[in-house]
Amino acid sequence: MINMMYYVFVTVLEVKNLNLGFNCECGFRQALFDVSFSLEKGRIHALVGESGCGKTISAMSILGLLPKTAKITGGEIIYNGENLLNKKNINKIRGSKIALIPQDPMTSLNPLYTIGNQLLEVINIHQGLKGEKAYKKAVEALEAVQIPCASERMNSYPHEFSGGMKQRAIIAMALACNAEILIADEPTTALDVTIQAQIMNLLNQIKPDTSILLITHDLALVGENADEVSVMYAGRIVENAPAKEFFENPSHPYSQALLRSLPSDRANKPETIQGQPPSIRQDISGCRFHPRCDRCMEICTDKIPVLENIGANHYRACFLCD
């Protein structure tokens, strides 16, 4: 008898056909084009691509933390059955239900307040706890992220914490609020390799309760930690697949080029991808990757490829037939 196991993942966040642009001195310029992805409970979904491809602005749209010049022109962000784009009081969700680990832990904490003060403020605002209960919760959160002597460290100022400890303190804030979703925007970029490993171990430990949207350009980190991968290029998702499938069968020429740019062994030198991602001021017809694609065909300069299913939960936007 064949013993088959099926896993059903519960979607906790769904971004559907998100379109966003910026008012620039040269007029309104589109930056995100029909961006769609979903985050499942207990999973790490990695959003990857070079800098300037739209990863961070997609994440900031979820939190409603957009610059004044940005304008969302279409789409939905569904959380708990509600479209966050229509929600008047997103502050109630931001920080408590959906938390952010920003790129730079060094500048994310207020240098004038102790770590304890900053944790207690978050717990007070998002959990409504005060006094001893709030203090206990703050110490527990610091312990959960393995800050040694947590109760004593409550009195430390950010400059007394190392980079890794600062990042852990920020994760502790998300844990203290029982955040259901954590948006980790390049959470380890500013840290050295051993601290990177500690932070990623910690994220893996909390993921059964807290689903994680991991924004990164570090494919090695993605390979070791993510469950699902979406590749962004110039404001579009060009490939989406479960992580194992993505690394075994990358299908979009841009994904393949990104993977070829990783150091593998001494015999195979990493390859560079010629050129740069386009700025939002550049008009590019057809496939936005075509000026850099070594497999570009006539159709690619004229028509826009859409995401299509090419295998089990594997999607790609490209005109290639293979």
Site residues for ligand SF4 per CB under 6 A: 253, 287, 289-290, 293, 295-297, 300, 305, 318-320
DSSP 94: B
The b/e string for 298-313 (b: 16+ C-beta within 10 A; e otherwise) is eebeeeebebeebeee
Tokens of 71: 């304008």
Q: Closest distance between ligand SF4 and the C-beta of residue 305, in Å?
A: 5
The b/e string for 30-59 (b: 16+ C-beta within 10 A; e otherwise) is ebbbbbbbbbbbebbbbbbbbebbbbbbbb
**Minimum CB distance to ligand SF4 smaller for 94 or for 252:** 252
**Minimum CB distance to ligand SF4 smaller for 12 or for 287:** 287
Contact 251, 316 (CB under 8 A): yes
Contact 222, 47 (CB under 8 A): no
Q: Closest distance between ligand SF4 and the C-beta of residue 320, in Å?
A: 5
Q: Closest distance between ligand SF4 and the C-beta of residue 252, in Å?
A: 6
**Minimum CB distance to ligand SF4 smaller for 144 or for 304:** 304
Contact 280, 31 (CB under 8 A): yes
Which residues, at least 6 apart from 27, have a Cβ–Cβ distance to it below 8 Å? Answer: none
**Minimum CB distance to ligand SF4 smaller for 52 or for 286:** 286
**Minimum CB distance to ligand SF4 smaller for 168 or for 288:** 288
Q: Closest distance between ligand SF4 and the C-beta of residue 314, in Å?
A: 15
Q: Closest distance between ligand SF4 and the C-beta of residue 275, in Å?
A: 13
